[in-house]
């Protein structure tokens, strides 16, 4: 990196809440974390926190030429080195750096794969529970349809509904998630 005498001369401190990269924007360098915490968001959902000094953020944009795949925000005050695209390219071509960049990408891929497997398992569990719940509701409706309207039938239906709620939990729906 002939452009800079010392990479540490590029160190700067950013305040908590500062947006370092915005998802969907053109590249323009990468960041090396020296201290602090950086949160990573994809489609508005937090997908990770970077805390390890020496970790890179934004190198995939340099390597692929694609737009930013995530938004990076300083969770706390952080000391970073922000390399321009040309500085980052030169930096990533160093022997030691190439290996670390590949390890970082491999670790992110492994983490993403683990998250996908875990989320797929949860989705399968939710699908099975929803199938059981809908079947039970269908049966309850059929039973209610057969009985004459009365106060006893009403209370029996309420007990059955309460049993279903206790079995399957209560649902709370928000914009991004369903909590059961």
Q: Which residue has the tokens 């915490």?
A: 37
Please list, residue by residue across 126-161, b when 16 or more beta carbons sit within 10 angstroms of its beta carbon and e when fewer do: eeeeeeebeebeeebeeeeeeeeeeeeeeeeeeebe
**So what's the pLDDT on residue 176?**
53
Rg over alpha carbons for the chain, rounded to the nearest Å, is 26
**So what's the pLDDT on residue 96?**
75
Q: How many helices, marked H, and strands, marked E, lie in the chain? A: 4, 10
**So what's the pLDDT on residue 51?**
92
- Write the DSSP symbol of residue 43: T
**So what's the pLDDT on residue 2?**
46
Q: Which residue ranges in the chain fall short of pLDDT 70?
A: 1-8, 170-180
Express each pLDDT in 24-41 by its tens digit.
Answer: 998 889 999 999 999 999
**So what's the pLDDT on residue 178?**
46
> Is pTM beyond 0.75 here?
no
The Cα 156–Cα 48 span in angstroms is 48
Pairing of the two strands 71-74 and 19-21: antiparallel
- Write the DSSP symbol of residue 148: P
**Three-class SS state of 45:** strand
**So what's the pLDDT on residue 173?**
52
Phi, psi of 70 (to 5 degrees): -155, 165
User: Long-range contacts made by residues 109-118, C-beta under 8 angstroms, separation at least 24?
Assistant: 111/48, 115/47
Question: What are the chain's domains?
Answer: 7-93 (2.60.120.10), 126-179 (no CATH)
């Amino acid at each position: 990196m002939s452009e800079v005498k010392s990479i540490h001369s590029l160190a700067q401190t950013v305040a908590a809440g500062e947006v370092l990269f915005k998802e969907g924007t053109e590249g323009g360098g990468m960041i090396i974390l020296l201290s602090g915490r950086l949160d990573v968001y994809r489609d508005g959902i937090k997908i990770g926190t970077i805390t390890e000094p020496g970790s890179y953020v934004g190198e995939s944009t340099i390597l692929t030429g694609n737009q930013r795949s995530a938004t990076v925000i300083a969770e706390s005050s952080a000391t970073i080195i922000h390399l321009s695209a040309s500085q980052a390219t030169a930096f990533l071509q160093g022997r030691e750096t190439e290996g670390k960049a590949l390890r970082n990408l491999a670790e992110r891929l492994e983490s993403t794969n683990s998250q996908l497997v875990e989320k797929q398992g949860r989705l399968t569990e939710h699908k099975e529970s929803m199938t059981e719940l809908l079947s039970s509701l269908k049966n309850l409706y059929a039973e209610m349809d057969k009985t004459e309207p009365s106060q006893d039938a009403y209370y029996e239906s309420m007990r059955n509904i309460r049993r279903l709620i206790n079995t399957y939990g209560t649902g709370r729906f928000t914009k991004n998630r369903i909590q059961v």
